[in-house]
Each structure stands twice: as structure tokens, then as C-alpha cells.
């Protein structure tokens, strides 16, 4: 028996499959060849971490340092960048864990905190996208009746509530995540230790409801209504304000990137929970899910790097702000150099 990874670095229920690799009493052969995981994935995780930290810090700097106050869409995108930064800042710890054969060297406190950060990214990013979808829905479908609600102070309040909601949903990670030594594997594993199978299925069921069913339903509804509104406006030859048009284009690109990166992960996670609940059965299905979970998890992590790239490629207003900040920085640097030269010249004249 070899130490095998979970379906995902943090999101699954345990790090070890142990000796119960079966479905409905049927013994399933183990998937022993995980060498590719230990050799290639730590490098990929570190690459995602470095790029994600650089890109998301850049996004936050543009939003925070610009003279003009952030618009409602920019507030949501800024919080999304903060959630992505939280994730990529936690990933290097898990890269070390994977490289060590799932031997966690950082102690129980970081076991809880690091995995809490990863969990909160999953929840908060998803619900910031819901806020983005609702904002675009209100801007294009209910422009007049709900215009007052689309104010920066309400956007900030909504983001604060989403951070709190994400923290509440991550409570099982704080309660059940722990480090334990497994002598049969010779490792100290950081894993989720639920008290019983019922609690495990309950937590997984809530995960599916709040990170898949509800969010996807809201995002789908808003997206369909937005597309319908855009078609009607095109038929009536009505052109919305350029700022709203640009914001909608960027938001749709971000939503599409999220669906491409995260939807496969949530589908596989749902199937994995149904398999452990014995609603679905089969050794072949278990093997396929083990492989797909690894692939789709790291595809999901790539979304934290992709979002800042979309801001630059699609977001015209973001590029404009970035250029203005760069210009301000150059002017400030020039003034500083001129001031230094002037002071140096005055000093030399005094001494001469």
C-alpha cells in the first residue's frame, strides 16, 4: 500500500485512501503509479504561485494606487484578485507537502491556516463572481429600477459579507483538519479527520450545494438574461454607455474563464461525493475520478493566474488606469531626480 493523494490538495475529505479502497464491498485495485504527481506537480504549483502573486499584486496596486475611486465592477474585481492572491500565497506550502510524499513539515497550526486560505479562495471567488453577475444583470436588465443599489458602498458591503460567508463555510477545515503520524507510511499527514461518515457526507453535501448548485444556477440565470438584454439592445440599435459596455465585456470574459477552469472540478467533486455515499459504484469510475481530480484541480488553480491576464487583454479601463499610474510614477521619479540634482548643485555652490 502506498500513500496516495486525495482527489485534490485540500478540498477532499482525506489525504489517505487507506485500506478501504472499495465500493459497496467490492475490492478495487489500487492506483499505485503516482510518481508523476510527486515529480511534476510541485514545479507546476510553484510556477502558478509565482505568476499568481506577481499578477494579482499588480492588479491590486492598479486599483489601490489610482487617484480615481474604484467603480462597482472594479471593487468586485479587486476583491476577486485578493482572493486569488490568498490562494497562490498558500500553494507553495502544499507544493512542499506533495514533494515530500504528503509528509506535512509545517505543524498543525499551518495545516489548518493554509488549507483555510485555499478553501476561502474557492468559496469567496465563486461568490464574488455571483456579485459580478448580479451587477451586470442589474446594469443591463433593470437599469432604471435598481440603479440606486449599484453604488460603491453597497458593493463594498456585499464583498465584506462574502468574505464572512466564505469564512463560515470554511469552518469544517478549522475544526476537522489536523496532522497525524501514520507509521505504515512513515509520514505526518495533514488531512481532514471527520468523526464519522455521516458528518463527512453532510459537509460534502453542503459543499456541493453552496459551491456548485446555487452559484451555477444564479450565474446561469444572470448570464442568460444579460445575453437576451444585449440582443434586444442590438435589435433596437441602442448603444449603452461605453463604460458599461466595457465592464460587461470584461465580466463575461472572467465568467467564461471561471467556467472553463472550475466547472470540471466541481462536476468531478460531485461525482466523487456520490461515489463515497455509494449512490454511484464501480472501480473503473473510482480510478477515472482519481486521475481527473488531479488534472482538474490544477486547471482550477490556473484561473488565479488567468484572471489578471484577462484584465489586461480585455479591460480597456484597466489598461488606461495602469498607464496613468505608470505615467504618475515616471513624473514622480523625474521630480525626485530633479530635486536631488538641485539640492546637490546648491550644496556644491555653497562649498565653492
Residues 333, 339: Cα–Cα separation, whole Å: 10
Which pLDDT score is estimated for 67?
Answer: 78
- The 3 state secondary structure assigned to the chain is CCCCCCCCCCCCCCCCCCCCCEECCEECCCCCCCHHHHHHHHHHHHHHHHHHHHHHHHHHHHHHHCCCCCCHHHHHHHHHHHHHHHHHHHHHHHHHHHHCCCCCCCHHHHHHHHHHHHHHHHHHHHHHHHHHHHHHHHHHCCCCCCHHHCCHHHHHHHHHHHHHHHHHHCHHHHHHEEEEEECCCCEEEEEECCCCHHHHHHHHHHHHHHHHHHHHHHHHHHHHHHHHHHHHHHHCCCCCCHHHHHHHHHHHHHHHHHHHHHHHHHHHHHHHHHHHCCCCCCHHHHHHHHHHHHHHHHHHHHHHHHHHHHHHHHCHHHHHHHHHHHHHHHHHHHHHHHHHHHHHHHHHHHHC
Q: Is the pTM of this model over 0.85?
A: no
Which pLDDT score is estimated for 80?
Answer: 93
Which pLDDT score is estimated for 279?
Answer: 77
Which pLDDT score is estimated for 23?
Answer: 42
Which pLDDT score is estimated for 51?
Answer: 95
- Range 34-334: architecture per CATH: Up-down Bundle (1.20)
Give the cell for residue 74.
472594479
Burial class (CB in 10 A: 0-12, 13-18, 19+), 323: exposed
Return all residues near 34 (Cβ < 8 A) that are at least 6 apart.
Answer: 2, 4, 5
Q: Where are the domains of the chain?
A: 34-334
Q: How many CB atoms lie within 10 A of CB 14?
A: 15
Return all residues near 191 (Cβ < 8 A) that are at least 6 apart.
Answer: 6, 14, 15, 16, 177, 178, 180
Q: Is the dihedral of CA 164, 170, 172, 178 positive or negative?
A: negative
Low-confidence ranges of the chain (pLDDT < 50): 1-26
Are 94 and 118 contacting, i.e. CB atoms less than 8 angstroms apart?
Answer: yes
Which pLDDT score is estimated for 79?
Answer: 94
Amino acid at each position: 500500500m502506498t500513500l496516495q493523494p486525495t482527489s485534490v490538495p485540500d478540498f477532499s475529505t482525506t489525504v489517505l485512501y487507506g485500506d478501504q479502497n472499495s465500493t459497496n464491498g467490492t475490492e478495487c485495485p489500487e492506483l499505485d503509479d503516482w510518481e508523476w504527481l510527486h515529480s511534476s506537480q510541485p514545479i507546476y504549483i510553484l510556477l502558478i504561485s509565482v505568476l499568481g502573486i506577481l499578477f494579482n499584486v499588480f492588479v491590486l496596486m492598479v486599483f489601490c494606487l489610482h487617484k480615481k475611486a474604484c467603480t462597482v465592477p472594479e471593487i468586485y474585481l479587486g476583491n476577486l484578485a485578493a482572493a486569488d492572491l490568498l490562494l497562490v500565497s498558500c500553494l507553495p506550502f502544499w507544493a512542499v507537502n506533495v514533494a515530500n510524499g504528503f509528509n506535512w513539515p509545517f505543524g498543525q497550526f499551518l495545516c489548518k491556516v493554509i488549507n483555510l486560505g485555499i478553501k476561502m479562495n474557492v468559496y469567496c471567488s465563486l461568490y464574488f463572481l455571483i456579485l459580478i453577475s448580479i451587477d451586470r444583470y442589474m446594469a443591463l436588465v433593470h437599469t432604471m429600477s435598481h440603479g440606486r443599489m449599484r453604488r460603491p458602498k453597497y458593493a463594498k458591503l456585499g464583498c465584506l459579507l462574502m468574505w464572512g460567508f466564505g469564512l463560515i463555510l470554511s469552518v469544517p477545515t478549522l475544526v476537522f483538519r489536523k496532522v497525524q503520524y501514520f507509521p505504515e507510511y512513515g509520514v505526518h499527514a495533514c488531512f481532514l479527520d471527520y468523526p464519522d461518515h455521516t458528518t463527512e457526507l453532510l459537509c460534502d453535501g453542503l459543499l456541493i450545494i453552496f459551491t456548485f448548485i446555487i452559484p451555477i444556477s444564479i450565474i446561469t440565470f444572470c448570464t442568460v438574461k444579460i445575453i437576451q438584454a444585449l440582443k434586444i439592445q442590438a435589435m433596437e440599435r441602442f448603444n449603452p454607455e461605453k463604460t458599461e459596455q466595457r465592464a460587461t465585456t470584461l465580466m463575461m470574459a472572467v465568467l467564461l474563464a471561471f467556467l472553463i477552469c472550475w466547472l470540471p472540478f466541481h462536476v468531478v467533486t460531485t461525482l466523487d461525493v456520490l461515489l463515497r455515499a455509494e449512490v454511484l459504484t464501480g472501480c473503473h469510475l473510482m480510478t477515472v475520478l482519481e486521475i481527473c481530480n488531479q488534472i482538474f484541480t490544477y486547471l482550477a488553480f490556473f484561473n488565479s493566474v488567468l484572471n489578471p491576464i484577462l484584465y489586461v487583454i480585455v479591460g480597456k479601463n484597466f489598461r488606461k488606469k495602469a498607464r496613468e499610474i505608470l505615467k504618475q510614477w515616471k513624473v514622480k521619479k523625474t521630480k525626485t531626480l530633479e530635486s536631488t540634482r538641485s539640492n546637490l548643485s546648491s550644496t556644491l555652490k555653497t562649498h565653492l
